[in-house]
Chains A and B, each alone.
Chain A
Amino acid sequence: MFDEKNCKFAKSHEWAFAEGGVAAVGISDYAQKEISDIVFVELPKAGAQVVQGKPCAVIESVKAAADFYAPVSGEVIAVNDAIVDNPALVNQAPHGDGWFFKIKMSKPAELETLMEFGEYQKTIQ
């Protein structure tokens, strides 16, 4: 759905898939494996403003909690309620049904500060 090869990645393991000024965001396959067994996700509400690099969602596994940092800034225009009801979707399909929310980008140039897939792959090896 949001092919990882066409996503851009933050050092903190979130991805952004940009299309016409809107970015869908989620966590990388590497991150879902590291966190493992996700049992709870708290998402921002539609209409909320998020800021690049600032925490805006919480991911909880059986063992620990992790913050989700916005990979780009802007207004949240849609959230994926399916992962709130079934957090395992994030483990099963982090670039598919396990997406987090969509941001109407206020600073599209921020995308340039994120890594391409190949570059990101090198950082997690």
Chain B
Amino acid sequence: MNDSSLKRTPLFDRMVQAGGRMVDFHGWEMPVQFAGILAEHRAVRTACGVFDVSHMGQVLISGPDAHRFIEHVNCNRMSAEPGKGTYAHILAEDGGILDDAITFCLGPERFLAIVNAATADKDFEWFQHWSEGYDVALDNASERTAMLAVQGPRAPALVGELFPAALALPRFGIAELPFAGETAFVMRTGYTGEDGFEIAALPECILATWAELILRGGRHGLVPCGLGARDTLRLEAGYLLYGADADETRTPYEANCGWAVKLQKGDFIGREALIRRKEAGFKEKLTGVRLLERGVPRAGCAVRLGDRKIGELCSATFAPSLGTGIGVGYLAPEAWEAGTRVAVEIHGKTVPAETVRGAFRKNNV
């Protein structure tokens, strides 16, 4: 791997030193694993793990109309309470999903949106386009911001050693806390189904945070984790992966995120189309499947009900915490009810499975 067109995060050298197996992830050279996906997955479920998520994007939105603006570009009711974040989808005018993001209220006129890596630049352009008529300043901080995720039941004890005030944060809470002479955004969020934190700051501050976490982490069972474990953890937790499980052809309702749509809150981009599309009804909905026999499903595997194909999987893997294969795919209405017996086609073989709604195991958040 020595492709100069690939982007590297400020933590790249640390990842290589820690034994990361580096791969091309949407144009970023990122670690897919260190010791191994199973060991890293287990560490996050039982102790804690640290992930470099510096590829993700950060957009700062400020000004007198900042809250009104984020309400307009997100489909959920967005918190205006300082210290609180809200998960939402950013929709196109036709109701299709452009991205999923968490937007945090930092103060009455200041917000921070954490967006996906591959969509960060497009999101920023989208925000700029729609900011006309709003008294807001938009700042794409993605390039100058690094980010770590520390996840697992031991994460609070470890992160609390560096950021004592982080322990008081509720789920989806954020605080601006001092570290190494800088200020870091510390958020009680994550993508694993476990308690944990995400920490975003200038690269020097994140490098210092990484060093301190590694120094102190041993006692807490901390291991460096790659994108492989991030994917198995998030899929077990029932979390959406934008680009794989949702894109601009799908609405939040089909993506099983209707809970994040608040039609009553007033106008927002995509609202009219969502109402229309909801009234027309949907033919497919993102539905989980759990294999009842041995096999490892992959994205692209067909899902059958009787002898009829009712969809295919868009994300699938062996689930380390369940010891079985799981996946999600857009399936026909007959399979929407949890527990429906279906079958997944793997290498020409038909493996029995049942449908699941939401998380594949109880999340500890």
Contacts and interface: CB of A to CB of B under 8 A. Distances in A.
Interface string A35-69: 01101100000000000000000101111010000
B295 A62 contact: no
B37 A60 contact: no
A37 B294 contact: no
Given A39-B318, A40-B318, A62 B294 contact: no
A105 to B, nearest CB: 27
Interface string B31-59: 01100111000000000000000000000
A65 B298 contact: yes
Contacts of A39: 38, 296, 318, 320
Nearest to B298: A65
Contact of A58 (B37, B317, B347): B347
B347 A62 contact: no
Nearest to A33: B36
B296 A37 contact: no
Contact of A37 (B38, B295, B298, B347): B38
A108 B166 CA distance: 67
A60 B347 CA distance: 12
A40 B298 contact: no
A86 B295 CA distance: 13
A65 B36 contact: no
Contacts of A40: 294-296, 318
Nearest to A88: B38
A40, A62, A88: most-surrounded residue (chain B CB, <10 A)? A62
Interface residue range, chain A: 10 to 19
B32 to A, nearest CB: 7
A36 B40 CA distance: 12
A36 B295 contact: no
A58 to B, nearest CB: 7
A76 to B, nearest CB: 19
Contacts of A36: 33, 36-37
B59 to A, nearest CB: 31
B294, B298, B320: most-surrounded residue (chain A CB, <10 A)? B294
A71 B126 CA distance: 56
B228 interface: yes
A2 to B, nearest CB: 24
Contacts of A84: 294
A84 B33 CA distance: 24
A62 B318 CA distance: 6
A56 to B, nearest CB: 13
A60 B37 CA distance: 13
Interface in B249-301: 294-296, 298
B355 interface: no
A120 B318 CA distance: 32
B232 interface: yes
Contact of B320 (A58, A60, A62, A65): A62
B229 to A, nearest CB: 9
Given A39-B296, A39-B318, A40-B294, A63 B37 contact: yes
Interface string B293-323: 0111010000000000000000001101000
Q: Give the 3 A-B CB pairs with smallest separation, nearest first.
A: A60-B296, A39-B318, A62-B37
18 contacts: A36-B36, A39-B296, A39-B318, A39-B320, A40-B294, A40-B296, A40-B318, A58-B347, A60-B296, A60-B318, A62-B37, A62-B38, A62-B228, A62-B317, A62-B320, A63-B37, A65-B296, A88-B38
Interface of B: 32-33, 36-38, 228, 232, 294-296, 298, 317-318, 320, 347
